Structure 1
Amino acid sequence: MSNIFRELLKKIGSGVHTGENLTRQESEVATEAILRQEATPAQIGAFLIAHRIKRPTPEELAGILDAYDRLGPKIDVANLPFEKPVTVIGTPYDGRSRTVPVTPITTLILATAGVPVVMHGGDRMPTKYGIPLVEIWQKLGVDFTSLSFPQVRQLLKKTGLGFIYLPKHFPQAHDLVPYRDQIGKRPPFATAELIWSPCEGKVHLVAGFVHPPTEERFQETLPMRGINYYTTVKGLEGSCDLACSRTAIIGLGQPTDPPRFERLLLNPRDYDFSSKDVPLESTDQAIEQMRSVLQAQPCELMDAAIFNGGFYLWRCGVCEDLKTGFALAEAMLVQGKVAEKLKEISTLSSEELAVN
Structure 2
Amino acid sequence: MSQTFRELLKTIGSGVHTGKDLSRSEAAEATRQMLLKEATPAQIGAFLIAHRIKRPSPEELAGMLDIYDELGPRLDINHLPFEKPVVIFGNPYDGRTRTVSVSPITTLMLVASGVPVVLHGGDIMPTKYGLPLVTLWQGLGIDFTQKNFTKAQEFLEKTGLTFIYLPTHFPLAYDLVPYRDQIGKRPPIATMELMWLPCTGNIHPISGYVHPPTEERFLKTFAMKGISYFTSIKGLEGSCDLACSRTAIIGFGQGGESPFFERFLLDPRDYGFSPTDVHLESTEQAIALMQELIQGQDNELKDAAILNGGFYLWRCGVCDDLKAGFEQAEVMLKEGKLAEKLKEMASL
TM-score scaled by structure 1? Answer: 0.97
The equivalent of 2:316 in structure 1 is 316
Percent of matched pairs sharing the same residue: 68
The equivalent of 1:143 in structure 2 is 143
Deviation of residue 76 (structure 1)?
1.7
CA distance in 1, matches of 2:274, 2:37: 48
The equivalent of 1:353 in structure 2 is none
Secondary structure at the aligned position of 2:300 is classed as coil
CA distance in 2, matches of 1:295, 1:64: 42
The equivalent of 2:300 in structure 1 is 300
Deviation of residue 283 (structure 1)?
0.5
The equivalent of 1:351 in structure 2 is none
CA distance in 1, matches of 2:261, 2:64: 23
Deviations 1:156-195 (A, max 9, x none): 1111110000000000110011100000000000000000
Secondary structure at the aligned position of 2:222 is classed as helix
CA distance in 1, matches of 2:115, 2:97: 28
The equivalent of 2:205 in structure 1 is 205
Say yes or no: does 1:78 pair with 2:78.
yes
CA distance in 2, matches of 1:293, 1:251: 29
CA distance in 1, matches of 2:223, 2:151: 31
Aligned pairs for 1:69-108 (under 5 A) are 69-108=69-108
CA distance in 2, matches of 1:161, 1:227: 22
CA distance in 1, matches of 2:117, 2:66: 22
Aligned pairs for 1:22-41 (under 5 A) are 22-41=22-41
The equivalent of 1:215 in structure 2 is 215
CA contact (8 A) 1:102 1:304 kept: yes
TM-score scaled by structure 2? Answer: 0.99
CA RMSD of aligned residues (A): 0.7
AA partner of residue 148 (structure 1): N
Secondary structure at the aligned position of 2:16 is classed as helix
Secondary structure at the aligned position of 1:65 is classed as helix
Secondary structure at the aligned position of 1:332 is classed as helix
AA partner of residue 132 (structure 1): P
Deviations 1:251-299 (A, max 9, x none): 0000122110000000001000111100000000001110111012110
CA distance in 2, matches of 1:155, 1:112: 14
Deviation of residue 202 (structure 1)?
2.9
Structure 2 gaps, min length 5: none
Secondary structure at the aligned position of 2:263 is classed as strand
CA distance in 2, matches of 1:199, 1:107: 18
The equivalent of 2:282 in structure 1 is 282
Aligned pairs for 1:127-142 (under 5 A) are 127-142=127-142
Deviation of residue 303 (structure 1)?
0.6
The equivalent of 1:63 in structure 2 is 63
Structure 1 gaps, min length 5: 349-356
Deviation of residue 88 (structure 1)?
0.1
CA distance in 1, matches of 2:200, 2:170: 15
Secondary structure at the aligned position of 1:182 is classed as helix
Deviation of residue 333 (structure 1)?
1.1
Deviations 1:187-218 (A, max 9, x none): 00000000001112231000000000000000
CA contact (8 A) 1:202 1:227 kept: no
CA distance in 2, matches of 1:325, 1:173: 37
CA distance in 1, matches of 2:228, 2:107: 21
